[in-house]
Structure 1
């Protein structure tokens, strides 16, 4: 099943690679380029979150490493919701 999902995801990614549409320019919460903004927004509503400081620190470290690379990374339309349902 897992191998089949991997194959399906790979084939879908290849099929979607040339797809272009104006709607792809919108901001999505699942886009890793916007992860820090989403984490900051969500943490604001979770005041008593255990290990909050650690989460904030790790998110900042990841952001510092990814931000300089983000513009050079390829991106495309993807499905992102493959499940066994």
Structure 2
């Protein structure tokens, strides 16, 4: 699995968080919603290449990166959370 595919998925899902942070601080639920709306369907499309164990790892990786981005955005827009 090319890391670039994960990066693209993360980038696109993070765009939702960038819009959300303008309204208020991003919560864990917001991260989950961004994953559900954008990343889950893309991950399912590539899951056949990954297998079940790798798919779970990929999901965890994407969520971790989205949480990191949410933390950055919250700090930039709302100060340290």
TM-score by length of 1: 0.29
Question: Higher helix proportion, which one?
Answer: 2
The one of the two structures with greater contact order (alpha-carbon pairs below 8 A, sep at least 6) is 1
Structure number with greater Rg is 1
